[in-house]
Structure 1
Amino acid sequence: MAKNNSKRTWLFIGGGVVVIFLGLFIAKQQGWIGKVDPTVVEFGKVKRESIVEKVSASGKIQPEVEVKVSPDVSGEIVALSVAEGDSVVAGQVLLKIRPDNYVSLLARAEAQLNATKASMEQSKAALAQSEARLSKAKIDFDRNQRLHNDKVISDADFDQFQSAYMVAKQDLESAKANVKAATYNVKSSEAALKEATTNLTKTTIYAPQSGIISKLNVELGERVVGTSQMAGTEMLRIANLNNMEVRVNVNENDITRVSLGDTVIIDVDAFTSSERKFKGVVYEIASSANQSGTATSVTTDAVTEFEVKIRVLRDSYRDLIKGRLSYPLKPGMTASVEILTNRKDNILTVPLAAVTTREIGGEEVAKDAKKGSDAPAEPAKEETAQQAKKRKEKIKEVVFISEKGKAKMVEVKTGISDFDNIEIVSGLKEGQEIISGPYATVAKNLKEGELVKKKDAKAEEKK
């Protein structure tokens, strides 16, 4: 009897265990227990739109042509006939430097020239005398040579006439050399006189071109330094403010997309409050990087950049010009630009945040790494490099879609992009629904097969 009771007890226990496991299985299937909360995401659709690719940069507004005026002579400014902002024409007198010293130098050069000319005349007279002496010595020599041949005079007498003739010839050559030296001295004095005259004229500074005095660095009575070999004191700048440009630095990653003739939208800080935009065009791209981005830079965060010059189209601000001498764009103004490098119309696009990168086939790479763990030291390094290369090749651009409430990864090929959308070349179809956000979820956290649900905007507003 006791044996039957024990057996019945074990049957009850076994049945209870089966019922419990069956209940757990049903609860699991129904999601009553062990339920994983789905990731809240935002959805978007693949649609056809136009994309304008842009390169953004910032810089300063400058005149296309700006001339720095420096003196060639040193001295005190005794006359200043212009002020900053004045309009000048080519050849107009700008200022004068005290000429006293240069007048004295000119007088000294003139006196030196006259002295060398007088010396040359003396040399010419000496030459004429030498020619006359040589002529007489030649006649005496020829006469006495015949007498010597006829044994009329002695050898000693003949030697005297021969020696006098040779000396007269040498005196003539010396006189010719003195005349040539005097001629060179005259030319040197003439050059010195010309230099003194030029230096005197350089005490008056003329405008090299027409334009506006954009910067005036000197005052009346101030002393300036000037030389012909190097730049002296920068006294002022003359700029043509009718033709303005924006000089910006573009990162090396973007410079290959910028081309001559690209349209540019210019936002000048001074006109930000009025939301006024200006138009421009790229007309010059530097062939070499800025000095700050070269290998000689000692900073670790040096960025390689190239200077791009953008001509501001005058038609885009013609209505702001008030009067003949009004220039709304001033040198040194800060400006931000958007260079329109490419445009495509009616193409498949998705929000930029929807596209991310994932490693496709990461398990195979992990297996390869595990196989190579027992290899010798040197081969292991080679395999590690190969594994890194293989890993890099397996990183692909992907977009997540929702399939039966689960995230599915779809590999795509992308094209151009702006700050909002990106072109889809292959991998998706028009109208297809994709997961477009939040950015952190799509870029880092979302995984293949993960449960997802659409974000409830009303619930978020309540929160």
Structure 2
Amino acid sequence: MKRTKTVILLVVIVACFATALIYLWQKNQEDPVTYATESPSEQTIVVKTMATGNIVPKEEVLIKPNVSGVIQDIYIEAGQYIKSGDLIAQIRVIPNVSSLTSAKNNIASSKTALETAKINFKTEESNYNRQKALFDKGVISENEFEGIKNTYLQAKQSVEQAQINLTSATQNYDIIKTGTTSGLGKIAQTQVRATISGMVLDVPVKEGNQVIEANNFNEGTSIASLADVKKMIFEGKVDESEVGKIKEGLPLEITVGAIENQKFDAVLDYIAPKGEAENGAIQFEIKGSIKSIDSTFIRAGLSANASIILDKAENVMAIREALVQYDRKTKQPYVEVEVGDQKFERRDLQLGISDGIFVEVKGGISKSDKIKVWNQIKGIPSYAQNN
């Protein structure tokens, strides 16, 4: 029994030894590790951050009526270009009973005031004529006559003012009842006209809809929205982690989802001083003016992305960032440059900006140097071997 155990143990030892010899032999048959190399190239490196948003008009004007009533006619439709002063809609006024009664009472009061002023004027006119005859004969002094004359002129002015008040009360009654009055012409309040030239973006009302005038207690009913579609802006939001990297005046590249293969240049004009919480993150609103879109029609409200260019280096020497190694102690970036057949030496680098793929090299190597691909995965070809 003891002899059998000894034999088994010897067999196991011999098997392990044979396995080790076979492994070492196979290892010795493998080709030695051969490192691929890459040379620096000329690149334009752009460091940017992204923002999502929409294309909206720079100035959108809401047209609202001057009087409350019912839409009688609409003369425009969305997508139409109109000029400032063009007629948009006609309103039929439905008078308020209380306001109408008050206006009637004002007319009656104005008529009474006018009659009273006329009677007073006739009395003062008769007195003035008598006193003037006495003044002409030298019976009364000039000072006394001047006082009588002033009273006469004041009575005459009171009649004129009372007539103006009656006319105003009558016009106010007509406006309350019909929305217009004689003498208003093109500025009749029942006629809604464009205040700017541009495209009609939306007409949210229809004929027969009731509308309310804008006042201190109500913002009024919008009859149409107008905008100059040649002056559009990008309106979007950036995350709080990115807002510290941007500032007003930075260039933007706008891409619109509905317009393929075209980019629009813009300038960042506005960054909100206060963020808003959205989906658990703080977002800051930004706005950028698109420089020129004369040849392209961009519809308001289209979704778009903005690349905010933080830094840019054009036509500089660069290498793939994956080629860069860092000293464990000093954190100094370096690469290994080929100096012979599969022989490499360390070269410390001075790096510039990086876009995550390529990094600018300011010093340490030349364009003719061949850099070791130190982290190449076996079986997968290099990004660019021996270029």
**Could you tell me how far apart the structure 2 residues matched to 1:67 and 1:420 are?**
46
Name the counterpart of 1:311: 291
Question: Which secondary structure does the structure 2 equivalent of 1:307 belong to?
Answer: strand
SS in 1 for 2:221: coil
Report Cα offsets for 1:390-447 as digits up to 9, x if no partner. Answer: xxxxxx56355489999999775533333532223345554555567xxxxxxxxxxx
Question: Is the 2:254–2:266 Cα contact (8 Å) retained in structure 1?
Answer: no
In 2, Cα distance between equivalents of 1:132 and 1:337: 84
CA distance 1:397–1:244, change in 2 (3 Å): farther
Paired with 1:425 and 1:100, the residues of 2 have a C-alpha distance of 78
Q: How many residues align?
A: 320
Residues 188/269 of structure 1: CA separation in 2 closer, same or farther (3 Å cut): farther
Q: Which letter maps to 1:226? A: E
1:48–1:85 CA distance, 2 compared to 1 (3 A) = closer
Q: How far apart, in 1, do the equivalents of 2:310 and 2:287 lie?
A: 16
Compared CA separation, residues 401 and 114, structure 1 to 2 (3 A): farther
Question: How far apart, in 1, do the equivalents of 2:86 and 2:55 lie?
Answer: 27
Which of 238, 245, 249 is the aligned partner of 1:259? 249
2:199: which partner in 1? Answer: 212
- Contact 1:110/1:193, CA 8 A, preserved across alignment: no
TM-score of the superposition, structure 2-length normalised? 0.61
Aligned to 1:417: 354
2:237 is equivalent to residue 249 of structure 1: yes
Task: State the Cα distance separating 1:232 from its structure 2 match.
Answer: 1.0
2:224 to 236, 242, 251: 236
Give deviations 1:93-113, integer Å, cap 9, x for gaps.
111221252899789758835
Residue 129 and residue 353 in structure 1: after superposition, are their counterparts in 2 closer, same or farther (change >3 A)? farther
- Match of 2:220, SS state, is coil
Deviation sequence 1:328-382 (CA, Å, 0-9, x none): x211111223355554334232224456888746xxxxxxxxxxxxxxxxxxxxx
Structure 2, gaps ≥5 residues long: 1-20, 131-146, 181-187, 383-387
Is 1:456 the counterpart of 2:378 in the alignment?
Answer: yes
Pairwise mapping of residues 112-131 of structure 1 onto structure 2 (< 5 A)? 112=106, 115-116=109-110, 119-120=113-114, 122-123=116-117, 125-126=119-120, 129=123
Identify the structure with the greater helix proportion.
1
Is 1:102–1:196's contact at 8 Å kept on the other side of the alignment?
no
C-alpha displacement of 1:49? 3.0
Q: 1:68 to 1:359 in 2, by over 3 A?
A: farther
Which protein has the larger Cα radius of gyration, Structure 1 or Structure 2? 1
Give the 3 Å change call, closer, same or farther, for CA 51–110 of structure 1 in structure 2.
same
Asked if residue 302 in structure 1 is aligned to residue 289 in structure 2, the reply is no
Q: Would you say the 8 A contact 2:79–2:201 is kept in 1?
A: yes
Q: Which runs of 5+ in 1 are unaligned?
A: 1-26, 137-168, 318-326, 362-395, 437-451
TM-score, normalised relative to structure 1: 0.53
Q: What code does the residue aligned with 1:313 have?
A: I
Q: How does 1:32-431 map to 2 (within 5 A)?
A: 44-101=38-95, 109=103, 112=106, 115-116=109-110, 119-120=113-114, 122-123=116-117, 125-126=119-120, 129=123, 183=161, 190=168, 193=171, 197=175, 200=180, 201-229=188-216, 230-250=218-238, 251-256=242-247, 259=249, 262=251, 264-272=252-260, 276-282=261-267, 285-286=269-270, 288-289=271-272, 291-293=274-276, 301-315=281-295, 317=296, 327=297, 329-340=298-309, 342-354=311-323, 360=329, 398-399=333-334, 401=336, 412-418=349-355, 420-426=357-363, 428-431=365-368
Structure 1 residue 205, shift from structure 2 partner: 0.7
- The CA distance in 1 between the partners of 2:283 and 2:326, in whole Å, is 25
* Kept in 2: contact 1:40–1:454 (CA 8 A): no
Distance in 2 between the 1:271 and 1:222 partners? 37
What is the CA distance between 1:312 and its match in structure 2? 4.1
Residue pair 2:53, 2:234 contacting (<8 A) in 1 also: yes
Q: Is the CA contact 2:212–2:220 (under 8 Å) kept in the aligned structure 1?
A: yes
Task: Quote the offset at 1:221 in angstroms.
Answer: 0.8
- State the partner residue of 1:21: none
C-alpha distance in structure 2 between counterparts of 1:397 and 1:307, whole Å: 40
Distance 1:407 1:184 in 2: 107
Q: How far apart, in 1, do the equivalents of 2:258 and 2:60 lie?
A: 22
DSSP 3-state at the match of 1:119? helix
Give the distance between the partners of 2:326 and 2:202, measured in 1 at CA.
53
Q: State the SS of the aligned residue for 1:122.
A: helix
Percent identity between matched residues is: 21
Cα deviation digits, residues 181-240 of structure 1 (max 9, x gap)? 995896597389469649532221112222222111111111122223352122221222
Partners of 2:57 and 2:256 in 1: CA distance: 15
**2:219 alignment partner, SS class:** coil
* Cα distance change on mapping 1:242 and 1:408 into 2, 3 Å: same
Pair 121,195 (structure 1): closer, same or farther in 2 beyond 3 Å: closer
Q: Distance between the aligned counterparts of 1:116 and 1:409, measured in 2?
A: 103
